[in-house]
Amino acid sequence: MKRTVASVFLLVLILAVARSSGASNPGPARLFNEGNAAYRQGRYEDAIAAYNKVLAGGVRSSAVYYNLGNSYYRTGKLGFAILNYERSLRLDPANDDTRHNLRFVSSLVQDRVLVSSFELKFQEKLSQFLGYTNPNFVAVILLLAVFVSAGIGGLWLLGRFRTRIAMVIFVGCCVLAALGASVMAGEKWAADEGRTGIVLADQTNARFEPSETSRVVFVVHEGTKVWLIRRDGGWAFVRLANGLRGWVQQGAFEMI
Amino acid sequence: MVKVVGCVVRMRMCNKILTGVTTLLLLASMGRAEVQVFARVDRNQAQVGEQIILTVAVVSQKPLSVQVPPTLRISGVSCSQVRGPVTSDEMSISGGRLLRRSTAEYAYFLTTERAGEIEIPAIPVAVEGTQFLTQPIRLTVGKSPVLEAGGPVQVRVNVSRTTVYQGEQIIVEYLLYEEAVASSRIQNRQLVRDPSFLNFWAETLEDIRRQQIPTRRETINGVAYNVLPILRYVVFPTRAGTLTIPSITVSLVAALPTGARTIWGEPVLQPRQISVNSPERTIESRALPANPPAGFSGAVGSFSIVSEVDKNKVAEGDPVTWKVIIEGDGNVKSVGDLRIPDLTDFRAYDPKTTASFTLAQGAVRGKLVYERVVIPLHAGISQIPGTTFTFFDPRTRQYKTIAVEAKKITVTANRGAVARTSGGGQMLVKEVGSDIRYIQPDVNSLDDESWRLTDSPFYWVSYGLPVAWVLLAFGVRARRIRMGANPARMRALGAAGEARRRLKAARLAFEKNDVHGGIQAVANALTELVAAAANTTAAGLTSSRISEVLSEKEVPEDLRKEVLATLAQCDEIRYAPTSASVDDAKAIYEKGLDLVRQLLRYLVP
């Protein structure tokens, strides 16, 4: 009898421990739902905490970043909102809701950066175009184009399928393959060279040199997008969309 | 007097020189500063009504984006819209270095309005998004002499009526009178102060700054004057009582007699900046009779009303343009909304209302056009209802109501017509607010989206397949080219292939118990193989020729005999089919198969 009671007690204890450990480390879905519920009730700080826990668990979902951006916007943190919308777009470039919210929140930030030179405008347009393309889709298209063009080319070498339609398909696939390769190269450039960040500080001075005593080149405010050129100590040399460059404190912005 | 004038001229020259030196010094300091923003005036001293040019200059090492205020608000000075920029580039070499200076200048034309010390405050200038301020500038403005009434230059005010009802029309004219003999000595006429109508609804009819107004000549008390109309308004009193028609101020430069005379007895003239004020006039505005009828919206005058449609017969669903036109000598802009009944037989679009005034034969007439597009909803006779308009007629001193009758429109049936709607009008749906879109609550969207196909090594390995295929095709093509250089081998290979096909046909024939066909195929396989080796046709090959060919190809004698024997067996069976069984034929087939294999070793180089 005593053994039975002890066994039951042990079983209950194990279940309790398991339950408590589960409660302290809930699944991403549960945290996500908690964040959604907090958002619906207007508890935006709680929603931010829940969504951040989902991300801390290793989940990389555009919906989480999107909801996090909404929550930050509701708390008035435009910089964080824009940062998370940008991150959401990286994962799901075609999401219309994210694009709308990003456009809307960007219209509220204080800085208006006018792009003047042709080169910068081209870079801006290229970044926008690459932002709309799905990398996996481009990769599949490129692979298919290479397969078809190689197949037709091989048959041509063997003296088969030497027709006008084959020539048209071959040229078309070659062009498609070249475009696909260009887009993939552009995405690689965007990932490597075009590293962008969002200013999170209310206001920060960009200086000629990485020093607080240096002269101010320009002043940027929360939510403005910057391109990181290089780092030096606690400073980062950044560029704006209009070409202005200066040194800002690294803590003033966060990379997308 | 001449000395005084000389002093003034020298002071102005000194001012210009000082301004120039300041600009040069600022330009000289450009080597140290990146952007220099400053303001200057063409003179610091002026009289009331005179014009001063204020220039804002931005000097930099390269052309920059500059934004200046479109106009300035300065107490005691009226300012024009900014003009410019006038840009210039200067290149120079200093200390072996190439220096570039780019200057952009913006000009404001200031007209002084009061005497005293006036300070032009610091002007904000945005250069590439960075704000700069110019230095403040002080002006000393002296009083300009006011011409006495009845002098050679006067500004008069004509009003069409001095006693009117509230809301009744008055035409106000401001006229510049210049003595005809002095008119040629007057220049630089400027309207310094516009009239500020209080207690009037004022509409500008003519303004000399916007249009050419013809001058006329009048003789007053035996003196001829050139009369230049400056402004013409139609005004309507907005309240009862004694009201004042405001004055205006005109500034001009006139060569006026000093009182002295030359030795020839002619008056000495001196150019002087003068200001001329018009006198103020008062008018009596009487209140309208009490208890106006319902529908009276304040129109005073004599009016007519017309209702018209662009077509009286339309198909169902076709649009009709309906206009109500009110014309008269009152203020049509104060009529307000017309009392239009509901249009139950039509779908109606938002109305468009336009009001205008025209001056003709000394009287002003107003015209109000109420225009609306309506679409009949059903076939038959549709009716655009009539409407009424109430006004006060000052001539009869009574309120009047005029009306237009309903318009009947014949509507023919139309299958493609629009559906009938319950409401009489439509509203354009517009976005009235904007905000972020709602969260995405779907928990299924938590899948990892950061995975990229290009991260997988299989993706890049798969590119090896097309590459291998192309390389293979290249290899086959190269082999074919290489073989094309040895026609005998090609021919023999072709014959070998043909022989295999014939043997296959033989096997199929034997499977169908076609002994004759099978044996024929075996014989053809052997003879055509030999014919290909001899570069001839199978038809001309005899047994002796076959033996010769095989001998030339160094085929061993045993094999040659075997070939000839097999061919002989084939001929025997072909010409006497009943002499051989299917098994015999199959044995010959097997033999033929073996012979072809052996011959290929000798016949294919």
CATH class for the region spanning A196-255: mainly beta
Nearest CB to A104; choose among B434, B450, B474? B434
With bands split at pLDDT 50, 70 and 90, how would you rate the model's confidence at A72?
very high
- The answer on pLDDT for B403 being more than 90 is no
Q: CB–CB of A91/B449 below 8 Å?
A: yes
pLDDT tens digits along A26-67: 588 899 999 999 999 889 999 999 999 999 888 888 999 999
Q: What does the block give as tokens for B426?
A: 């439509």
DSSP code, position B1 = -
pLDDT tens digits along A151-196: 999 998 888 888 888 899 999 999 988 888 887 887 777 666 557 8
Asked if A154's CB is within 8 angstroms of B129's CB, the reply is: no
What is the CATH code of the structural domain delimited by A13-106?
1.25.40.10
Distances (CA, A) of B438 to B94, B342, B442, B566: 63, 41, 12, 92
**B11: number of Cβ within 10 Å:** 13
Q: What's at B83, amino acid-wise?
A: R
CB pairs under 8 A between A and B: 99
- Which residue in B62, B64, B439, B480 has the most chain A C-beta atoms within 10 A of its own C-beta, making it the best mutation to test that interface? B439
Cα B274 to Cα B262: distance, rounded to the nearest angstrom: 24
Q: What is the pTM assigned to this prediction?
A: 0.39
Domain ranges of chain B: 2-142, 153-286, 296-412, 487-603
User: Residue A80: what pLDDT?
Assistant: 93
pLDDT tens digits along B304-347: 899 888 888 888 778 888 888 998 888 888 776 677 777 777 88
Mean pLDDT of B238-246: 90
User: Residue B421: what pLDDT?
Assistant: 44
B443 touches chain A (CB under 8 A): yes
- The answer on pLDDT for B137 being more than 80 is yes
Nearest CB to B436; choose among A63, A70, A116? A70
| Least confident window among B122-126, B142-146, B545-549 | B142-146
B453 touches chain A (CB under 8 A): yes
Strands B249-261 and B186-193 come out as antiparallel
Min Cα distance B497 → chain A (Å) is 19
Min Cα distance B272 → chain A (Å) is 51
Cα B542 to Cα B565: distance, rounded to the nearest angstrom: 13
Q: What's at B45, amino acid-wise?
A: Q
Q: CB–CB of A190/A130 below 8 Å?
A: yes
Asked if B446's CB is within 8 angstroms of A59's CB, the reply is: yes
**CATH architecture, domain B296-412:** Sandwich (2.60)
User: Residue B127: what pLDDT?
Assistant: 87
B153-286 and B296-412 share one fold? yes
**3-class SS of residue A168:** helix
CATH class for the region spanning B153-286: mainly beta
Over pLDDT 70: what percentage of chain B? 86
Cα B306 to Cα B326: distance, rounded to the nearest angstrom: 7
**B421: number of Cβ within 10 Å:** 12
Q: Supply the ipTM of this predicted assembly.
A: 0.74
Q: Is the peptide bond before B195 cis (omega within 30 degrees of 0)?
A: no
Min Cα distance B436 → chain A (Å) is 5
Touching A: B residues 68-87, CB under 8 Å: none
Residues of A in contact with B462 (CB under 8 A): 143
Residues of B in contact with A26 (CB under 8 A): none
Residue of A117, A105, A120 whose CA lies nearest to A222: A105
Cα-Cα-Cα-Cα torsion A230, A235, A236, A242, nearest 10 degrees, comes to -130
With bands split at pLDDT 50, 70 and 90, how would you rate the model's confidence at A146?
very high
pLDDT tens digits along A75-127: 888 899 999 998 898 888 878 899 899 988 888 887 777 766 676 667 667 76
With bands split at pLDDT 50, 70 and 90, how would you rate the model's confidence at B590?
confident
pLDDT tens digits along B18-72: 555 454 444 444 444 478 899 988 878 777 766 788 899 998 888 788 888 888 8
Cα B571 to Cα B291: distance, rounded to the nearest angstrom: 138
Q: What does the block give as tokens for B18?
A: 């000082």
- Which residue in B449, B462, B463 has the most chain A C-beta atoms within 10 A of its own C-beta, making it the best mutation to test that interface? B449
Domain ranges of chain A: 13-106, 118-192, 196-255
Min Cα distance A222 → chain B (Å) is 17
Tell me the CATH number of domain B2-142, given options 3.90.120, 2.60.40, 3.15.10, 1.10.3470: 2.60.40
Residue labelled with tokens 């300091």: B29
Q: What's at B307, amino acid-wise?
A: S
Q: CB–CB of B168/B300 below 8 Å?
A: yes
User: Residue B211: what pLDDT?
Assistant: 75
Long-range contacts of A110-116 (CB under 8 A, 24+ apart): A110/A221, A110/A222, A110/A223, A111/A220, A111/A221, A111/A223, A111/A224, A113/A224, A113/A225, A113/A240, A113/A241, A113/A242, A114/A242, A114/B65, A115/A241, A115/A242, A115/A243, A116/A242, A116/A243, A116/B65
User: Residue B361: what pLDDT?
Assistant: 66
Burial (0-12, 13-18, 19+ Cβ within 10 Å), B592: buried
Q: CB–CB of B526/B499 below 8 Å?
A: yes
**B13-46 b/e with 16+ CB inside 10 Å = b?**
eeeeeebeeebeebeeebeeeebbbbbbbbbbeb
With bands split at pLDDT 50, 70 and 90, how would you rate the model's confidence at B467?
very high
Asked if A28's CB is within 8 angstroms of B452's CB, the reply is: no
What is the CATH code of the structural domain delimited by B487-603?
1.20.120
Q: Give the chain B residue whose CA is nearest to the CA of A82.
A: B436
Q: In the predicted model, what is the mean pLDDT of chain B? A: 79
HSE of B82 in the Cβ direction (CA atoms, 13 Å)?
Answer: 19
What is B417-486 written as a DSSP string? PPPP-SSSB----------PPPP---GGGGS-----GGGSHHHHHHTHHHHHHHHHHHHHHHHHHHHHT-
Asked if A32's CB is within 8 angstroms of B443's CB, the reply is: yes
**3-class SS of residue B358:** strand
Distances (CA, A) of B185 to A4, B152, B191, B214, B270: 128, 11, 18, 20, 10
